[in-house]
Amino acid sequence: MENEENADTANITNNADDVGTLEDLESLLQVIFHDRSLLQRAVTHHSCCPETAVHDSYDTLEFLGDAIIGAHVVEHIYRSFPDASEGEMTTLKSEVVSRRILAGIGQNMGLFPFIRVDIDNLRTFNERSRDSLCADVLEAIVGAIQIDQGSEIARDFVARTILPMVEYISQQTLDTNPKGRLQKLVLQRSGSLPRYRVLEQSGRNNDRVFTVGVFEHDFLLGMGRASSIKEAGRIAAREALELMRGTDTPA
């Protein structure tokens, strides 16, 4: 196990010195750089160049990439959720650009083997540190793409790799509190609260099934069926939200 870890560490330290490896990274990113030195810099931790870190490490590219990602995520949220409040948009944006989410994206992309870190420094890293490296490098790569390729290619890259998380995370929020989100939307739309009614009850004792409908005034927004009225109401709210999202989506 120790030999495998040392071999892995050696690869991480040396890979980005090999032009072929940079070509592999370009294939992974689906971006061909005009200036590959920018790409190498984007995957180089400052431990490899402590005396020249400002110019040779990813630190300042990470700073740039962080701002670019944040801007694209905010715009995407604004366009995708026009009825969301500023607070809801802020919460969603903060989660999407969090270290945890960006680290997961970087790990899933396979960025870690391309990262250059001084071997002595790497020995002090744990899994959390490695995740942080992937988040840093993902941001730095976005910054490098912006400088090398321009804003449109950088936007396309962010759209491919990061923006899908907006829908995923918003869906998690919808699943966590569908009744609260539906109430907010209905209040904004009509000034009334959604009302839940038990439409049907079947079965006996522990085998009961309830059908609950949620209404805006007298208009049925959605229905849910479950073994409890509370859960059936949650399912009805979730269906209503999904139908409302579908209605709001342009054909």
pLDDT score of 62 more than 90: yes
Q: Which of 4-8, 113-117, 225-229 has the lowest mean pLDDT?
A: 4-8
Fold for 178-248, please state it: Double Stranded RNA Binding Domain (3.30.160)
Residue-wise pLDDT for 79-111, tens only, equals 988 877 787 788 889 999 999 999 999 999 999
Calculate ∠ Cα 239-244-246, nearest 5°. Answer: 95
What does the pLDDT read at residue 173? 67
Top mean pLDDT of 4-18, 46-60, 66-80, 106-120 is at: 66-80
pLDDT for the residue numbered 82: 80
pLDDT reported for residue 175:
62
Residue 88 designated active-site: no
Whole-number percent of the chain with pLDDT over 70: 85
Distances (CA, A) of 86 to 20, 62, 81, 89, 99: 46, 26, 11, 5, 22
Residues 6 or more apart whose Cβ sits within 8 Å of residue 96: 73, 77, 162, 165, 166, 169
Q: 44-58, 64-78, 233-247 — which one is most confidently predicted on average?
A: 64-78
Can you say whether residue 110 is alpha, beta or left, with left for phi > 0 and alpha for psi between -120 and 50 degrees?
Answer: left
Structure tokens at 198: 């038990």
**Mean pLDDT computed over 171-188:** 80
For residue 193, pLDDT over 80 is answered with yes
Using pLDDT thresholds of 50, 70 and 90, give the confidence band for residue 188.
Answer: confident
Query: Of these residues, 139, 148, 216, 239, which one is catalytic?
Result: 139
Architecture of domain 2-172: Orthogonal Bundle (1.10)
Dihedral, 175, 131, 99, 153 alpha carbons, nearest 10: -100
What pLDDT was estimated at residue 250?
42
pLDDT at 124: 62
Identify whether the C-beta of residue 106 lies closer than 8 Å to the C-beta of residue 137: yes
Q: What is the pLDDT of residue 244?
A: 86
For residue 237, the tally of other CB atoms under 10 A from its CB is 26
Ranges of each domain in the chain:
2-172, 178-248
Q: Cβ(212)–Cβ(156) under 8 Å?
A: no
Annotated catalytic residue within 62, 66, 131, 148: 66
For the whole model, what pTM was predicted? 0.67
139 is catalytic: yes
